[in-house]
Structure 1
Amino acid sequence: MFEQINSQSLALGKSYADTFVKAQGLALAGFERITELNLKTFEERIKASVDFWSEAAEVRDLDGAKAIWPKGVQLAKENAEKFYANTQEVLGVSLKTSEAIGALAKGSFETTNETITKQVNAAKKATGAR
């Protein structure tokens, strides 16, 4: 009897360990995608800022400052829009990752529940109890 309980416990532990390893893989993949999105956005925005400030450094008079002012405003607007869009993409990746991990956990719990229910019913039948 103890051997049966131990084997069931080991099988249950293995099942949960496999599920946790899969969940960790999903989480790491999501984190990798989020990092990739953030780095790409920051790289683009830094390049745009460097280009703007390189051009702004060449301004020597008031007319040059008047000409570059709209470009500075446009840069600020683009930065805000790009960072907002990046935030939305990151949120989407986070939600998809969370849903995948949730579905994985739910499947694991349902499988465990079915297995335990079958074993309990088999034990009831074996002992003649109702």
Structure 2
Amino acid sequence: MTQQIDTQVFAYARQFADSAFKAQALVLKGLEQAAGLQLGTLEQQSRSAAEFLLAAGELRDADGLRGLWDKGVALSRAQTEQAVALTQSLAAVGRQTAESLGALVQPLQAANDAVAATAAATRKAAAK
């Protein structure tokens, strides 16, 4: 009876270790995707800001300043839209990662229940 429990516990431990490795890989993949999205947005916003500053440096009169104001408003709007899109993308990556991690837990729960049932049966048999 002890050998049966040992076999189940070792199988459960192996399954747990495999699932932990897969979970780590999923989390790292999610972090990599999130970092890539953030860096891409940062690059776009930096490029837009540099172009705006370049245009500001070339101003020569009041009419240019009015045009710069319009460019500044457009830049602000574009960067806000990019930030909202980034937030939605990050939420999607987080949700996808969480769902994948949840799928990894299901087999572990079944194995845990099997080991607990065997242990309870062993205790009951030993008590007789």
The alignment's C-alpha RMSD in Å is 2.1
- Give the structure 2 partner of residue 104 of structure 1: 104
Q: Distance in 2 between matches of 1:107 and 1:77?
A: 47
Q: Deviations over 1:38-81 (max 9, x none)?
A: 10011011001101110111112211101111010000010001
Q: How does 1:83-122 map to 2 (within 5 A)?
A: 83-113=83-113, 115-116=114-115, 119=118
What amino acid does structure 1 have at the position aligned with 2:92? Answer: G
Q: TM-score if structure 1 supplies the norm length?
A: 0.83
Q: How does 1:21-100 map to 2 (within 5 A)?
A: 21-100=21-100
1:109: how far off? 1.4
Higher relative contact order (CA 8 A, sep 6+): 2
Count the aligned residue pairs.
123
Question: Where do 5+ consecutive residues of structure 2 fail to align?
Answer: none
1:119: how far off? 4.8
Q: Distance in 2 between matches of 1:118 and 1:6?
A: 13
Q: Which range is displaced more, 20-29 or 101-110?
A: 101-110
Q: Distance in 2 between matches of 1:45 and 1:14?
A: 47
- Give the structure 2 partner of residue 9 of structure 1: 9
What amino acid does structure 2 have at the position aligned with 1:94? Answer: G
Q: TM-score if structure 2 supplies the norm length?
A: 0.84
Between the aligned residues of both structures, percent identity stands at 34
Question: Where do 5+ consecutive residues of structure 1 fail to align?
Answer: none
Q: Secondary structure at the match of 1:59?
A: coil
Q: Distance in 1 between matches of 2:26 and 2:103?
A: 11
